[in-house]
Amino acid sequence: MKPAEDYILRQEEPFKSILLHLQVLIEQNFPDVDLQFKWKIPFYILNGKPFCYLNPSKKKQYVDVGFYCNHAFEKYNDKVLSEGRKVVKSLRYFSVEDIDSDILVYILSEAYKNELNGYGKK
């Protein structure tokens, strides 16, 4: 078992369920991703570049799906949090029911296109 998978399975609820659901959605929609354990959290690598990470915040009771992007999105921009960060943005989930797969896949697809075009992480 990969360290990132072990990390996910060792989380307490509701984090474990949220992380597992996100893992399935990401891996189904981006089959070339490689789940790794970087900087003490699950981190997806796609085509050799950082794609997104899953960061459970037990103190604040949510899971962030963080990604690199420095532009506004055509759709769902109101769902994306930057909190003063210039390049890293995130989607935040307090429960499995909060996860809208259409929004998640759209945002991550756009962030990936942005990265490929050279507008992501500097």
- Alpha-carbon distance of 6 to 52, in angstroms, equals 18
CB-based burial, 46-69: b 16+ in 10 Å, e otherwise: beeebbbbbbbeeeeebbbbbbbb
Can you give the pLDDT at residue 116? 64
In this predicted model, what pLDDT tens digit does every residue of 50-92 receive, in sequence order? 899 999 999 999 999 999 887 778 899 899 998 887 788 999 9
> Nearest to residue 117, comparing CAs of 68, 65, 75?
68
Domains and CATH numbers, the chain: 3-116 (3.90.1150.200)
Given a cut of 50, whether residue 11 has pLDDT beyond it is yes
Average predicted confidence (pLDDT) for the chain: 90
Given a cut of 60, whether residue 12 has pLDDT beyond it is yes
Tokens of 7: 């990390």
Can you give the pLDDT at residue 118? 58
- Alpha-carbon distance of 98 to 86, in angstroms, equals 25
Residue with tokens 């998640």: 104
